[in-house]
Structure 1
Amino acid sequence: MYVRKTQRRNKDGSVVRYVQLATNRRVGGTTQADVLLNLGREDKLDLDSLRRLVASLNRYLGDTDVDVAEPLGVEGGPLEVVASRPLGAVWLLDGLWKLLGIDQALAKVLDARRFRTDVERALFALVANRAVAPDSKRAASEWASRDVVIPGAGEIAEQHAYRAMDLLVGEDTQSAVQEAVFFAAANLLDLEVDLIFFDTTSTYFERDDADTADGALRRYGHSKDHRKDLPQVVIGLAVTREGIPVRCWTWAGNTSDQSVIEQVKADLRAWRLGRVVTVTDSGFSGEANLACLARAGGHYITGVKMREGSAKAAEALARQGRYQHVRDNLRVKEVRLDSDPGRRWIICHNPAEAERDKLRREQQLQAITEELDRIAAARAADAKKARERAAKAGLKRAVMPSDAPHRKAECALRDHPSLGRWLKQSTTGRLSIDRAKAKTEANLDGKYLLATSDPDLTAEDVALGYKNLLEAERAFRTMKSTLYLRPVYHRLDDRIRAHVLLCWLALLLIRVAERRTDLTWRTIRTELQRIHQVTLAGPAGRLEQTTQTTDTHERIFKSCGIPMPAKLSGLTTAE
């Protein structure tokens, strides 16, 4: 490192000189100056403070013999490490937060209000906590204040965090923030919004009872987490084909998938996105929902239930035709029905999945056959014993016990979650394999049925577009595992909505980071958490220094378009 001087000439001809602390580095075969710290104008430097700092640095390095002039009455001392906190991951998230304009969106929404605390910084701290070290809001406040470096944020108390959450979901605030963030991200990332993928999930509350008040969120309902014993909320998520989440919704836990499409359509239509094709799974394929998605020039691609579908779905599956090879494990066939001219039906077939379906069914039928044989053998043994008892008692007719073990086995087999579907029961109560159903299922091996109202997309585009619906499912997995969306401990509806929105913002930031670096967030987080900010302090002053970075760190920041953290910062000198 060395001291570097620069100058600037004013309009009146005077020259102003500046002093900088710099180092040289080689870039593309040439040497360039890398400014570490701007010390200020040369004519306004506090030379005594700089001398005291130099003396402390010399003592820290062990060079006690170096003679550095110090003002009388000032007692110098070595610099000591007083703190070391992770910086890298939060620095990247903060850069993306500002790059996407989230800070400006929040400032615009909250512009008319005045607060003693920085609401935007408090919200960013909560979002960063979800992405880096998810925990409760109380623990997140302590984490942001003591365990990590949040640029521009001071002490964040627990009440500040809850106040910021309440403001985030205030009247018109939530939709305004989501809209501003979406358009900023769309312009920055050049997002393709011609296909919007929508899906829902549920998340539950631990050790809580359902609310009985009208309009309350915490209700019992169909749990996609298989926790029907706990109250829950339903969460909707819209993502682009690149996996970027563009909007989220929170509904009561007893909300049906069939009842939310109209609101989703209305909310997205308010953004005036132009021509949009909405992609949903079979849970949203009701006729009313499809009609809603097709209104106002919109279109849809939806999965259709083959086993419980409509007569039109059955008619489409029965049509003959030749499959078109799209990829190694995907073939498609388009079918049109005279009874439904405005809709196209796409039958997709995966040969590899068909083999797996066939093998799984054969294994289940084999298990059923063995169990039925065992039950028959047990029944024969019981009958033999009953006849022997009748003969000894001089009875003409044997009496079978009502609680014979094979009766319990038959009930268990009939009620089995996967094997029971292949059974039929006679009028006498006997079980047997439903061969007709097995044959029908064999015709559906490896197949799934799609319907679309778009007249221009090819059958291949429809099939591949539907496969991208997995991005919505992947987003939910990330929210539940990486971001710890569940379980939820909040009781107030606004706090519940704010918690979901914070997870959505965190998901947005990490998806942008993943897309720009082609790395998983787990890898990015692990690498960047090795960058620390070390605080040195002594009688001469205070200095914050960033630990040495690697080529991997530089590639991550460069790919995301975020500048590296300053090597030296926070320089303060003793008075």
Structure 2
Amino acid sequence: MTTRKNKSGQAVRYLQLAHNEWDPAARTSRTKVLHSFGREDQLDRAAIERLVASLARLLDPARAAALTTPGELAYLGSRPFGGTLVLDGLWHRLALDEVIRRCLAGRKLDPRVERVLFGLVANRVLGASSKLAAASWMTGRVHINGLDDADLDAQTCYRAMDWLLQIEPELAKEAYFQVTDLLNLDLDLIFFDTTSTYFEIDEPDAALARDERGRVVTGPEPDGDGDGDGDGDGDGEQKMAGFRTYGKSKDSRDDLPQVVVGMAVTREGIPVRVWSWPGNTGDSDLIRQVKTDLREWSLSKVIWVADRGFTSQANRRALMKGGGGYIIGEKLRSNSPDIKAALSRQGRYATVSGNLQVKEVNVGTTDRLIICFNPAQAERDAAVRADLVARLEEAIDGSDRLDKLERGKLAGVLSTKPGLKRFLRLTPGGLLRVDRAKVKAEANLDGKYLLRSSDPHLSAEDIALGYRQLLEVERGWRDMKQILDLRPVYHRTEDRIRAHVLLYWLGLLLIRLVENSTGQTWNRVRDQLEQISLATFAGPAGTYRQCSELTKPQRDVLSALDLPTPKRITSLTPAE
């Protein structure tokens, strides 16, 4: 805009479309007029509006509307957007949305079920809360496509969880094959382990008749022995148990009812599937159901890797069915002749990785036995044992001067401390002594663990390294309990608790996909994503949402996950 005076001295303003050009010779910028619109008081405003409309057709409609909105814009607020953006992108890449809609097709239900299930999973990953709080979180705290400003309540979430439990087998199978194709996973090893989660309730659930899968049996009344065969001898497949009941707790809370959760994981740490059982189910009772369920997926030969709780002959036979195999940890402190013979064999160790050394021993069995030795762990074991022995010597020092009753009380106190009890010996005369023979025997086990494998083709190194990757399952349990907050569980019914565990499995699946693709921990990636927000503005022409400018680390995360960057203007609602 320029101002000039006419002959009468009146100031007249002229409008021009201009831009600056750099003059390299003069080393300065010069203004170049592209078009002159003439005097401001004689301006053809209709022609300018037509010009602006023509230019706007070259832009994205939402962006054009935002740029041409007259008047002041009002900022209405913003919500975190990056976390749900990435999780929703992976959710769609795995086709979980399609599987859910296909499995639920033809049923009379809320059309938002798939979106609600995704929102519940995202809530576990980004800000774990109760289902009541999750409903308001999905609609008011973050932006989730399809749930924007929706009217959700806790009952909507509960009904969605009920549907999830019904379609879980098909959903797990489809997710498995989608992930293997997406990441080109190596499926020669499947790792399996269990954990438990407790409930702070006064009484366990009532005992009900259950089948070999831990499911409630619906049918005739039980006959009192729990097998349901009517003869009262307990020789059937059914057992009486409550779902939340007492058992051996892996959280050191044997005083509270619990449920048992099992998880199968690939060598890359991808959770394949989860299972839930009554809290008194032993590890050895679980492996046959897991193997049967995964056999239905028509997998090729798979080597199962499991911890020492699965070493029974029945479990090993179950794992061998269908051409499979196993790598299982053995208990060193065992009376098994095979274990004693393996530990007594002489031979040199071979270093395979870092400070891990292995030695294969032949004791005349069809299985292969591999002794693994870690020198650093041996030093730690020796230091811990020396400390325990010193504490025991201090505790029993002067006990010879006590009468028989007082020594018995002291022995009773020491028996409640497993670390000290292991090395305590009672003489025929009732005196308390350190069991030096036991100390020497334990020293022979420092830094060692024993593996049993059925596969004749794997090298000793592959067996040892494969078992060491069982830590991936333990990392999964740790993330479930610390990042996803598996506890507390705000549900009472068995089906809701099972569905609750499934939500954690889906959340852990998305986390592992992010970590494997980016090479970063989920906590670090989440910190970057939480800085991406979606702001809402309103003006005379309507309202629109605008995504914050992405930083390079944020773009790198999206690139690593092969996800597109979000549009600057994500939505536009014209004014009525």
- TM-score (structure 1 length as normaliser): 0.82
- Whole-Å separation in 2 of the counterparts to 1:403 and 1:345: 47
What is residue 323 of structure 2 aligned with on the other side? 297
Partner SS for 2:512: helix
Contact 1:89 1:132 in 2 (8 A): yes
**1:152 and 2:146 are equivalent in the alignment:** yes
Structure 2 unaligned residues grouped into runs of 5+: 1-53, 209-215, 217-241
CA gap of 1:220–1:18, structure 2 versus 1, over 3 A, is farther
The alpha-carbon deviation at position 294 of structure 1 amounts to: 1.1
What is residue 195 of structure 2 aligned with on the other side? 201
Partner SS for 1:337: coil
**1:272 and 2:298 are equivalent in the alignment:** yes
What is residue 339 of structure 2 aligned with on the other side? 313
**Aligned pairs for 1:359-438 within 5 A:** 359-376=383-400, 379=401, 404=406, 408-438=409-439
What is residue 545 of structure 2 aligned with on the other side? 544
The alpha-carbon deviation at position 489 of structure 1 amounts to: 2.1
- Whole-Å separation in 2 of the counterparts to 1:435 and 1:51: 83
Q: CA RMSD in A?
A: 1.9
After superposition, what is the alpha-carbon deviation per residue over 1:314-335, rounded to whole angstroms, capped at 9, x for unaligned? Answer: 1122122221111231110111
Partner SS for 2:351: strand
What is residue 256 of structure 1 aligned with on the other side? 282
Give 1:479's aligned amino acid: M
Contact 2:415 2:421 in 1 (8 A): yes
Contact 1:117 1:160 in 2 (8 A): no
What is residue 166 of structure 1 aligned with on the other side? 162
What is residue 460 of structure 1 aligned with on the other side? 461
- Taking every aligned residue pair, what percent have the same amino acid on both sides? 47
What is residue 24 of structure 2 aligned with on the other side? none
- Whole-Å separation in 2 of the counterparts to 1:189 and 1:507: 16
**Aligned pairs for 1:34-183 within 5 A:** 37=62, 54-56=69-71, 78-154=72-148, 155=150, 156-170=152-166, 173-183=167-177
Contact 2:257 2:279 in 1 (8 A): yes
- Whole-Å separation in 1 of the counterparts to 2:202 and 2:106: 37
The alpha-carbon deviation at position 53 of structure 1 amounts to: 5.1
- Length, aligned pairs only: 489
Contact 2:270 2:512 in 1 (8 A): yes
**Greater relative contact order structure (CA < 8 Å, 6+ sep):** 1
After superposition, what is the alpha-carbon deviation per residue over 1:1-43, rounded to whole angstroms, capped at 9, x for unaligned? Answer: xxxxxxxxxxxxxxxx995676xxxxxxxxxxxx69476xxxx
What is residue 376 of structure 2 aligned with on the other side? 352
Give 1:433's aligned amino acid: V
- Whole-Å separation in 2 of the counterparts to 1:206 and 1:150: 33
**Aligned pairs for 1:2-13 within 5 A:** none
CA gap of 1:484–1:208, structure 2 versus 1, over 3 A, is farther
The alpha-carbon deviation at position 370 of structure 1 amounts to: 2.3
The alpha-carbon deviation at position 124 of structure 1 amounts to: 0.1
Give 2:99's aligned amino acid: A
The alpha-carbon deviation at position 199 of structure 1 amounts to: 0.2
**Aligned pairs for 1:238-257 within 5 A:** 238-257=264-283
**1:288 and 2:314 are equivalent in the alignment:** yes
The alpha-carbon deviation at position 427 of structure 1 amounts to: 3.3
The alpha-carbon deviation at position 265 of structure 1 amounts to: 0.7
Contact 1:220 1:230 in 2 (8 A): yes
What is residue 572 of structure 1 aligned with on the other side? 573
Contact 2:69 2:540 in 1 (8 A): no
Give 1:445's aligned amino acid: D
Partner SS for 2:318: helix
CA gap of 1:220–1:144, structure 2 versus 1, over 3 A, is same
Contact 1:95 1:562 in 2 (8 A): yes
- Whole-Å separation in 2 of the counterparts to 1:320 and 1:549: 62
What is residue 231 of structure 2 aligned with on the other side? none
- Whole-Å separation in 2 of the counterparts to 1:316 and 1:343: 12
The alpha-carbon deviation at position 553 of structure 1 amounts to: 0.5
The alpha-carbon deviation at position 550 of structure 1 amounts to: 0.4
The more displaced of 179-188 and 412-421 is 412-421
CA gap of 1:255–1:128, structure 2 versus 1, over 3 A, is same
The alpha-carbon deviation at position 91 of structure 1 amounts to: 0.4
The alpha-carbon deviation at position 118 of structure 1 amounts to: 1.0
What is residue 476 of structure 1 aligned with on the other side? 477
Give 1:347's aligned amino acid: I
- Whole-Å separation in 1 of the counterparts to 2:373 and 2:57: 66
The alpha-carbon deviation at position 117 of structure 1 amounts to: 3.4
Partner SS for 2:381: helix
What is residue 329 of structure 1 aligned with on the other side? 355
Give 2:285's aligned amino acid: S
After superposition, what is the alpha-carbon deviation per residue over 1:75-97, rounded to whole angstroms, capped at 9, x for unaligned? Answer: xxx22111211000110000011
- TM-score (structure 2 length as normaliser): 0.82
What is residue 560 of structure 1 aligned with on the other side? 561
Structure 1 unaligned residues grouped into runs of 5+: 1-16, 23-34, 40-49, 57-77, 383-399
The alpha-carbon deviation at position 179 of structure 1 amounts to: 0.5
Partner SS for 2:246: coil
CA gap of 1:343–1:109, structure 2 versus 1, over 3 A, is same
- Whole-Å separation in 2 of the counterparts to 1:121 and 1:82: 25
CA gap of 1:565–1:432, structure 2 versus 1, over 3 A, is same
